[in-house]
Amino acid sequence: MRFLRALLVILTLPLFAETIVFKNVNVISMTSPKVAKSQSVVVRDGRIISVSQKPKFDADAKVIDGKGKYLLPGLAEMHGHVPPMNAPNNQAEDVLFLYVANGITTVRGMLGYPGQLELRQKANTSRIIAPTLYLAGPSFNGNSINGTQAARDMVKAQKEEGWDLLKVHPGLTRAEYDAMAEMAALLKIRFGGHVPAEVGLLHAIEMGQETFDHIDGYVEALAGDKGPVDAKKLADLVKKSKAAGVWIVPTSALWEVLFNTIPLETLTAYPELKYAPPGAVDAWVKAYNNRLTQGSREAANNIIKNRVTVLRALHKGGVKILMGTDAPQQFSIPGFSLHRELLRMREAGMSNYEILKSGTVNVGEYFKASDSFGTIEPGKRADLILLEANPLENITNVSKIAGVMTRGKWLSGAEIDAGLEKIEERNLGVRRP
């Protein structure tokens, strides 16, 4: 066993030992909302070694000029997806590159497929350009689970296979959900996602569900489709959520798409759609048009408006928020979707620092049992974004990327542009052979 543990450590080490120095850079460490000017950050073996004005490093170190630029911890996509390994046109690795190209260095994948655990190994040892991956297994839903014993067996199987968490989808009965939750607690594997209708928000909180993705269950519990939510009932839900230590992954921008509150002509004009797989945009347009004939527009508008109200109250009440967009999804391109989500978080009353915290410090806290990252401090995993402008002054500056580092591996702006161009060309090649 000692030998196997040692081998596992070796296999998870980065395949490089280069020293990289960001020199004369403005550091946003995320330990406070302050900027430390003209610092040098030394990285070696995938870890931050030092942050100082007088750094010590070897003569053969790679030096990156950070003058006038800002160094920020890498951001996270806490409700992301990785395509199946058999998806055509190199989609899985393209999606991972798109995340990194936009400064996302950690992804919590929320729907497992065969082969993804091997992909996680390749990603987390820098054999491919990718964020660090934490993966949920195949989902627990009304089709995958038939009875309480099936729920318990699936928890055991996913724990043994090595998935990082369990994904909850709609359709579970309350008894099946409870069987899953009780076995998850016994085996010490976390779970999150949706709130099945038969379970309900309060019971899901009581049973230990950690993350409530898409703010799922809250608007429903408040009958938010019918009009303004009851302030007293909302305050009670916030209090119970805070006491239970739950986490919220908003995915607000996508929900506006799914409820058709953004005009179709706006969506189809997104410049990043050139990175979508062939045929995807046509399918998304068709789905949008189909929704126009379904449901009530008034109810849809109420839901979207009340989601902002709920998120504002949760944040103000001290419930921790995790950055996430549910990409790839309809008109939601991995990485690029993040920049739209940031604006929705501002709308919900979060400051620029609090928004950045949801994708750095909070994520590091959520995964603290697995690794140490989310701030720029010695010993932390070297996930970094070099920006042309200060995101604390304007949150849209997060998109002004000069380069990204994942686990100590540097990707320059020019390399990012070249990678994006290849993805565009590959997709166009399939569209028009």
Q: Name the CATH superfamily housing domain 74-366.
A: Metal-dependent hydrolases (3.20.20.140)
**Superfamily (CATH) of domain 11-72+377-431:** Urease, subunit C, domain 1 (2.30.40.10)
For the whole model, what pTM was predicted?
0.94
* Contact call for residues 131 and 406 (beta carbons, < 8 A): yes
Pairing state of beta strands 70-73 and 75-80?
unpaired
Within 10 Å of residue 262's Cβ, how many Cβ atoms?
16
Instruction: Report pLDDT for 123.
Output: 97
Check residue 174 and give its pLDDT. Answer: 98
The pLDDT tens digits along the chain (433 residues) read 444 444 444 444 444 568 999 999 999 999 999 999 999 999 999 999 999 998 888 889 999 999 999 999 999 999 999 999 888 777 999 999 999 999 999 999 999 999 999 999 999 999 999 999 999 999 999 999 999 999 999 999 999 999 999 999 999 999 999 999 999 999 999 999 999 999 999 999 999 999 999 999 999 999 999 999 999 999 999 999 999 999 999 999 999 999 999 999 999 999 999 999 989 999 999 999 999 999 899 999 999 999 999 999 999 999 999 999 999 999 999 999 999 999 999 999 999 999 999 999 999 999 999 999 999 999 999 999 999 999 999 999 999 999 999 999 999 999 999 999 999 998 887 554 3
Taking the domains of the chain in order of start, what are their residue ranges? 11-72+377-431, 74-366
